[in-house]
């Protein structure tokens, strides 16, 4: 029997609630918001609700890390331990999301022997740069893009927490980091405060901070494109395929959104003024894949997260399944069937990135 999704679970799982915006204000960040207002030019309620999803994702990841689903010694510096527990379904969902993205990303970096770039679109408070540094998998340059307000907050945390700043300084040739308005640039890590919907300015700023169009380049969008209209995400995807010769795009987001379960997810979010502007692409695995194939990519693969979960290394799956008792197996299955990972490739340099696949890595 199909079940109606529980509101709280849906909100915690993918994304988003207004409580994120509330928490942001409570942290006395109004000054940053004010400073930023003129910069973004799009500081409306809808964008604020989208920005708040950054905290929601980090809170859920933080809780799962505290439960030992995976290790991340850096996330504690970005968000305090959440007060409430997250349901086992949520923790397992985040585990699958993080593992899947890491597996594909690491495979790309290894295929190119780290002689590559990574561009994390809508990176939020993501900690991947620090993980890659610890695992000797750092690309030539790691770029992050998010709204200026999020980036200002992240730069502040990096500057004030030595465990975050030290790895950046260690990989930088000069003793000072370039901090320019809503951006910070170093030899290996750059963070840019920029609306992804303004592609000409984004391109200009990436160029300014040393984007090398000749290097194999991995783009990552983890729960981001769903907040951008299909036209704008197509522009971004087309720009990437026409700019880089060897490239992979990893996109994680909702799928199967036309069924009852998906509709309830959309309604819950709309009630919180969080509009999924890109949801039309989230109808099926095919619509997800076609977005890439119609915009210049040679190959594209998609899997729903239930299939991914079953393809992840089973010894570790057994370990995490022993961490907490899961009562609602059916709910986990439904949640995982409403998210997918899509990875598209273009490999003019013949690095073998087309072969990247779960189960054979």
Ligand X SMILES: C[S@@+](CC[C@H](N)C(=O)[O-])C[C@H]1O[C@@H](n2cnc3c(N)ncnc32)[C@H](O)[C@@H]1O
Residues contributing to the annotated binding site for S-adenosyl-L-methionine:
97, 122, 195-196, 222
Should residue 222 be labelled a site residue for ligand X when binding is judged by CB under 6 A? yes
Pick the binder of ligand X from 33, 57, 192, 236 (CB under 6 A). 57
Pick the binder of ligand X from 133, 197, 205, 346 (CB under 6 A). 197
Pick the binder of ligand X from 43, 72, 144, 195 (CB under 6 A). 195
Write out the binding residues for ligand X, residues 134-153 only, by CB under 6 A: 146-147, 150
Nearest-approach distance from CB 97 to ligand X, in angstroms:
8
CB nearer ligand X, residue 38 or residue 318: 38
Pick the binder of ligand X from 119, 224, 285, 332 (CB under 6 A). 224
Nearest-approach distance from CB 20 to ligand X, in angstroms:
9
Pick the binder of ligand X from 196, 211, 320, 341 (CB under 6 A). 196
Should residue 43 be labelled a site residue for ligand X when binding is judged by CB under 6 A? no
Nearest-approach distance from CB 197 to ligand X, in angstroms:
5
| HEC readout, the chain | CCCCCCHHHHHHHHCCCHHHHHHHHHCCCHHHHHHHHHHHCCCCHHHHHHHHHHHHHHHHHHHHHHCCCCCCCCHHHCCCCCCCCCCHHHHHHHHHHHHHHHHHHHHHHHHCCCCCEEEEECCCCCCHHHHHHHCCCCCCEEEEEECHHHHHHHHHHHHHCHHHHHHHHHCCCCCCCEEECCEEECCCEEEEECCCCCHHHHHHHHHHCCCCCCCCEEEEEECCHHHCCHHHHHHHHHHHHHHCCEEEEEEEEECCCCCHHHHHHHHHHHHCCCCCCCHHHHCCHHHHHHHHHCCCCCEEEEEEHHHHHHHCCHHHHHHHHCCCCCCCHHHHHHHHHCEEEEEEEEECCCCCHHHCCCCCC
Number of residues that bind ligand X (CB under 6 A): 21
Nearest-approach distance from CB 349 to ligand X, in angstroms:
27
Binding mask 101-130 for ligand X (x = CB under 6 A): ---------------------xxx-x----
Should residue 62 be labelled a site residue for ligand X when binding is judged by CB under 6 A? no
Which residues of the chain form contacts with ligand X (CB under 6 A)?
A: 15, 50-51, 53-54, 57, 122-124, 126, 146-147, 150, 195-197, 222-224, 227-228
């Amino acid at each position: 029997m199909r079940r109606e999704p529980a509101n709280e679970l849906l909100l915690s799982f993918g994304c988003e609630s207004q409580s994120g915006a509330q928490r942001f204000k409570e942290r006395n960040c109004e000054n940053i918001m004010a400073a930023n207002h003129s910069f973004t030019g799009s500081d409306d309620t809808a964008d604020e609700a989208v920005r708040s999803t950054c905290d929601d994702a980090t809170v859920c990841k933080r809780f799962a890390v505290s439960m030992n689903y995976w290790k991340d010694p850096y996330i504690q510096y970005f968000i305090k331990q959440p007060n409430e527990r997250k349901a086992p379904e949520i923790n397992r969902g985040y585990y699958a999301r993080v593992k899947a993205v890491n597996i594909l990303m690491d495979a790309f970096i290894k295929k190119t022997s780290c002689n590559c770039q990574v561009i994390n679109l809508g990176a939020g408070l993501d900690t991947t740069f620090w993980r890659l540094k610890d695992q000797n998998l750092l690309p030539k340059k790691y770029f992050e893009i998010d709204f200026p307000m999020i980036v200002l907050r992240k730069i502040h945390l990096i500057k004030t927490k030595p465990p975050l700043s030290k790895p950046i300084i260690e990989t930088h040739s000069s003793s000072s980091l370039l901090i320019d308005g809503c951006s910070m640039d170093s030899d290996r890590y750059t963070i840019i405060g920029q609306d992804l919907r303004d592609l000409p300015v984004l391109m200009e700023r990436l160029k300014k901070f040393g984007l090398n169009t000749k290097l194999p380049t991995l783009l990552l969008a983890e729960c981001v494109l769903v907040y951008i209209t299909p036209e704008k995400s197509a522009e971004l995807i087309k720009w990437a395929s026409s700019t880089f010769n060897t490239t992979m795009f990893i996109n994680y987001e909702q799928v199967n959104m036309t069924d009852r379960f998906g509709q309830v997810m959309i309604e819950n979010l709309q009630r919180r003024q969080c509009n999924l502007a890109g949801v039309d692409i989230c109808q099926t695995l095919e619509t997800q894949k076609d977005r890439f194939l119609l915009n210049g990519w040679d190959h594209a693969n998609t899997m729903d997260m239930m299939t991914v979960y079953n393809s992840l290394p089973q010894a570790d799956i057994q370990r995490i399944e022993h961490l907490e008792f899961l009562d609602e197996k059916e709910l986990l299955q439904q949640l995982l069937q409403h998210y997918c990972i899509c990875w598209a490739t273009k490999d003019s340099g013949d690095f073998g990135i087309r072969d990247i696949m779960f189960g054979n890595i």
